A = this chain, B = another copy of it.
Amino acid sequence: MNEKKLSLICFSGDFDKAVATFTLASGAAASGYQVNVFFTFWGYNVIKKASGHRFQGTGFLAKFFNFLMGGLNNLPLSRLNFCGISPKLMTYMMKKNNVATLNELIAASVALGVNFYACEMSMVILGTKLDDFLPTKGVIGVPKFLEISKGGQVIFI
């Protein structure tokens, strides 16, 4: 842990946890850290190019789940979601107080050179293609993630 390296596993697809992921990612990158984010399970909704509900993937169940979960604009708050009103209120409060919104935090992370990785297993199960997502450095599994994160801190969100 003496290296300036931070690797995040973005497992959750909750709005609040996505804010935490990209606040840590952009903050660490701005502080000179090498930052890797591995998007898996629900977390992969965060980096879908399609930000709304869309039928994607191969097979009925995959299409159904992808539609249900939606994309960046449909991330729920982990508590007190109120049918999706709360993430919008929170974005309003962030803007009002001049705090970076989720979209701005993602843009900052990209601009600061944070490395995005997509989870191999999630892509197989949900039948999505790399092209459905924001640009990543690759599709990887656990062994490769361990190699990338070696010698640095790892955070599961």
Contacts and interface: CB of A to CB of B under 8 A. Distances in A.
A55 interface: no
Given A1-B153, A97-B127, 19 more contacts: A1-B2, A6-B146, A11-B20, A13-B79, A16-B42, A23-B121, A26-B142, A27-B143, A28-B146, A31-B146, A59-B93, A61-B89, A65-B80, A97-B125, A153-B153, A153-B154, A154-B155, A156-B156, A156-B157
B28 A61 contact: no
Contacts of A142: 23-24, 26-28, 31
| A-side interface size class | 35 or more
Interface of A: 1-2, 6, 9, 11, 13, 16-17, 19-20, 23-24, 26-28, 30-31, 33, 40-42, 59, 61-62, 65, 68-69, 76, 78-80, 89-90, 92-94, 96-97, 99, 121, 124-127, 141-143, 146, 149-157
B152 A33 contact: no
Contacts of A62: 93
